[in-house]
Amino acid sequence: MEFVERESGTAMVIGGVDTGKTTLILAVALRLLSRGKMCGLIDSDIGQSVSGAPCMITLTVPDISDGRVSLGEPVTMYFIGSTSPSGHVTKVIQGVGSLCERVRRKGIPFILVDTTGMIQGYEGLELKLKKAELIRPDCIYALQRKDELVSILTYLRKMKGIALEMLPIPDGVVTRSMDERRERREAMFRKHFRDASVFEIMLSSISVDGCSGMLVPNLLVGLKDRDGFALAMGRVVDRDERSLSVLTRLKDLSGVRSIEPGSLLLDSDFREIGRPIS
């Protein structure tokens, strides 16, 4: 049965960079919504997010507006703190798993998962396979240019209950340079921090997921609730022995239980200026 004709289900898209993954998953969302079927969209593309929050995995519950998919604001976010899954594969898989669990607990019948174009090497293989093992999709849309997905597909074919839909790369696909990708992310950071203000946090009053020595000025951080989901991103402005000044769009930090150091430094205009020295 075609995925959109089902009563419920989970679908994931895989493919290299610039293969039309996001466009496809949004088209599936539109077909579900046109049939009156609710879905949760998990955007695990932490580099080229469609939901406007780079370095985070987000859950949105899309709607239709003027015949198009309208994503709205993310309802739940999971902080990764990097623009690439490389070096963070386990965290990305955990994040996608936790958000899937959220959607299922909310009783939303369909889950759609968008992914990064990281398909190469052992990390690419591990990322896609572990994700599929954890979320058990009913359908995987695979967008392949030549034979770059062969090793991933070999393993996916052995997993029971997954319908693999092989699709060609659409003719109209437009590629984006690394600079365009970075500029797009920086615009999203500026938007996320648009009405942000600086809070002073006593280090004794909060737990740090990692080493507090990592919390250096300009570092991107995640401000997390008691369930480990991100309430917002933060940017460290200053720190001393006992306290931390963090820029965040949150107006009230009472729900923040922990702070997680990311792996990206942003200057005061939210330009990416590198990674912290570890």
Does 22 interact with ligand ATP (rule: CB under 6 A)? yes
Q: Which residue, judged by CB position, is nearest to ligand ATP in the bound state?
A: 172
Give, as ranges, the residues between 256 and 275 that touch Mg ion (CB under 5 A): none
- Per CB under 6 A, the list member of 170, 217, 255, 274 interacting with ligand ATP is 170
Residue 23 binds which entry of ligand ATP, Mg ion, none, with Cβ cut-offs from 5 to 8 Å by kind? ligand ATP
Q: Could you tell me the end-to-end alpha-carbon distance of the chain, in angstroms, rounded to an integer?
A: 50
Query: How many residues bind ligand ATP, per CB under 6 A?
Result: 16
Distance, CA of 152 to CA of 115 (rounded, Å): 14
Give, as ranges, the residues between 115 and 134 that touch ligand ATP (CB under 6 A): 117
Which range, of 96-104, 156-164, 171-179, 211-219, touches ligand ATP by CB under 6 A?
171-179
Does 18 interact with ligand ATP (rule: CB under 6 A)? yes
Residue 222 binds which entry of ligand ATP, Mg ion, none, with Cβ cut-offs from 5 to 8 Å by kind? none
Smallest distance, ligand ATP to C-beta of residue 7, A = 27
E strands, the chain, in order:
9-15, 39-43, 56-60, 63-65, 68-70, 76-79, 110-114, 139-143, 163-167, 197-202, 207-208, 219-224, 230-239, 243-248, 258-266, 272-274
Query: How many residues bind Mg ion, per CB under 5 A?
Result: 3
- Per CB under 5 A, the list member of 10, 22, 49, 60 interacting with Mg ion is 22
Nearest CA to 58 out of 81, 82, 75, 38 is that of 75
Question: 60 near 131, Cβ under 8 Å?
Answer: no
Distance, CA of 31 to CA of 5 (rounded, Å): 9
Does 49 interact with Mg ion (rule: CB under 5 A)? no
Which of 71, 231 has the CB closer to Mg ion?
Answer: 71
CB atoms within 10 A of CB 67: 7
Does 162 interact with ligand ATP (rule: CB under 6 A)? no
Does 86 interact with ligand ATP (rule: CB under 6 A)? no
Question: 262 near 55, Cβ under 8 Å?
Answer: yes
Which of 45, 260 has the CB closer to Mg ion?
Answer: 45
Distance, CA of 206 to CA of 260 (rounded, Å): 11
231-246 in b/e burial notation, b at 16+ Cβ within 10 A? Answer: bbbbbbbebeeeebbb
Here's the x/- map for Mg ion, 28-47, by CB under 5 A: it reads as -----------------x--
Does 20 interact with ligand ATP (rule: CB under 6 A)? yes
Phi, psi for residue 270 in degrees, rounded to 5: 65, 30
Question: 5 near 137, Cβ under 8 Å?
Answer: no
In this structure, which amino acid lies at residue 39? C
- Per CB under 6 A, the list member of 19, 82, 98, 263 interacting with ligand ATP is 19
Does 58 interact with Mg ion (rule: CB under 5 A)? no
- Per CB under 6 A, the list member of 4, 21, 82, 215 interacting with ligand ATP is 21
Chain residues in the site for ligand ATP (CB under 6 A):
15, 17-23, 45, 48, 117, 170, 172-174, 176
